[in-house]
Amino acid sequence: MFTPIHRALGLEPGNLTMNDINQVIAGKVEETADLDWKKKFYSIQNNAVMEEVAKDIAAMANSGGGWIVFGIKEDGENNAASSVNPIQWSADNERQIRNIAYSKIGPPVVGIEFSKIPCGENPDDGYVVLMHIPDSVDAPHFARKGDDAFRAPWRNGPHTEFMTERDIERGFRERFQRGVEQEKTLQGYFEQAAEALNPEQGVFLAIAAVPVTPIISADSITSGTASNYTRPWAYSYFMASHQGEHSEEHQVPTSHTFMSTSHTFIWNTGEYVKGMRQWVLRSYALVPEDAKYRKYLHDDGTLLGAYQLGGVYNKPSASNQYPVGKPNHCRSKDIESALIDFFSLLRDHAQERRVSGGFHIRVGLVGDANSPILVRTFDGFMQVLTDESYSEPIKRFQPVSTFVDPLAPIEDVLPSLRALALDIVNQGGIQNLQVIAGEES
């Protein structure tokens, strides 16, 4: 963490303590454009107060982000910290703030985080609470005033003012430019994923997930974390075969021995190597019979994946289960399993990196350019691969893009996962999903 308090006191990044807060008081640190003192938490009892909260949050988001600190009294002359006024704090306070950020601001401000500093050893001694409003790529944000009116506030030093028409015009122009840059970034990462494996060895799924707000100053991912990710687990809530068996957050190992034949995850062994500001998870190079994969875990929260789908099992005896001898063919259920693996890892990666605000995602099938891609479906009744004639040859696959917040309630992530999978398999003439859970599950 690095806050305006760190800047004012000349501190290195890290967690703040009451000793630091006492230095703030002794030094009479003044409010700035990105720092606002509040003696008390908002008394959210009516619509007028909620509108005031929305104004404060939107102003910070429109001004590059900032911190609102509850529990510090300011003097009335210089907007300087004058004394500590400990407050009580609960999860309800955080919930109220986030609800207002969604319902009273357009577009909503996401990614608000809170940090508590105990004022004593006893919880009854209260806290100083720091609320961080991130710099927003969706600016300008408009705070609701009354039933119909919206205003665009911004921070002018320690004061809040409202944007003029020209300010708003410039804000929308900058938002559009940020959108262009985000599209370039997403496409660049997707092309990297699309070059991660050799399509001549088998068609593969390439996928890139880029956070809306990358974690620029994050610590590097540890080798221990990278090692844990080489033993994949999947959220059971995503799987049709596990619906109703576990709690929403339950995970299951993606191994051949655990999963049934209809839910095989074939990218379940591998190693990890260090890259520049990233770790690379990959299949063992010396085990050619394993399905190839690569996953790139970036320190800033970006996640890339490449999953081999075709040519993974070439024994003639398995021809009723796999498209043996046809590397540009793949099974629809393997596409679904790869997406489940990626979304499960993305959820864990976002939690570990503390990425808020969601991800832009792009996914596609990459195959040998000299022949069409065929997505083969599986006859669940006969437990065999259906004939090629059931599929529609894909001569040019159209990459699919979406937006996902992997840290949302998991039941809210599932519809995006299903829609993405359907957009992929539908291009191959496949109508239904077989692995990913749905409303009918």
CATH architecture for segment(s) 4-163:
2-Layer Sandwich (3.30)
Tell me: pLDDT of 258 over 80: no
Cα–Cα distance list, 79 to 31, 55, 83 (Å): 6, 19, 12
Residue 256 has pLDDT above 60, yes or no: no
pLDDT digit string, tens, across residues 37-71: 999 999 888 888 999 999 999 999 999 889 999 99
Q: What confidence tier does 248 reach under pLDDT thresholds 50, 70, 90? A: low
Average of per-residue pLDDT across 316-336: 90
pLDDT value of position 440: 45
In one letter, which amino acid is 359? F
* 399-427 mean pLDDT: 91
* pLDDT value of position 349: 94
Q: What is the pLDDT of residue 305?
A: 97
Supply the pLDDT for residue 289: 63
Q: What is the mean pLDDT of the chain?
A: 88
| Arithmetic mean of pLDDT, 214-243 | 83
- Among 92-101, 303-312, 357-366, 379-388, name the one with the lowest average pLDDT: 379-388
Note the pLDDT of residue 257.
38
Confidence of residue 410 (pLDDT cuts 50, 70, 90): confident
| pLDDT at 187 (0 to 100) | 96
Other C-beta atoms closer than 10 Å to the C-beta of 252 total 19
Position with higher pLDDT, 195 vs 14:
195
pLDDT at 260 over 70: no
Q: Are 207 and 403 in contact, with CB atoms under 8 Å apart?
A: no
DSSP assignment of 244-312: TTS-TT-EEE--TTTS-GGG-------EEEEETTEEEEE--TT-TTSPPEEEEEETTS-EEEEEE-SSS
pLDDT of residue 242: 66
Is the confidence at residue 347, as pLDDT, over 90?
A: yes
Q: Which pLDDT score, from 0 to 100, does residue 146 have?
A: 75
Q: Any idea which of 14-23, 59-68, 261-270, 345-354 has the lowest mean pLDDT?
A: 261-270
pTM, full prediction: 0.71
pLDDT bracket for residue 304 (50, 70, 90): very high
Using pLDDT thresholds of 50, 70 and 90, give the confidence band for residue 384: confident
More confident residue, 83 or 134: 83
Residues 6+ apart with CB under 8 A from 191: none
Q: Answer with the residue of higher pLDDT: 299 or 45.
A: 299
Residues of the chain with CATH 3.30.950.30: 4-163
More confident residue, 379 or 288: 379
In this predicted structure, which of 64-73, 130-139, 245-254 has the lowest mean pLDDT? 245-254
Please state, in angstroms and rounded to a whole number, the distance separating the CA atoms of residues 370 and 309. 17
How many angstroms from the chain centroid is the CA of residue 10? 32
Report CA torsion sign: 26, 31, 35, 40.
positive
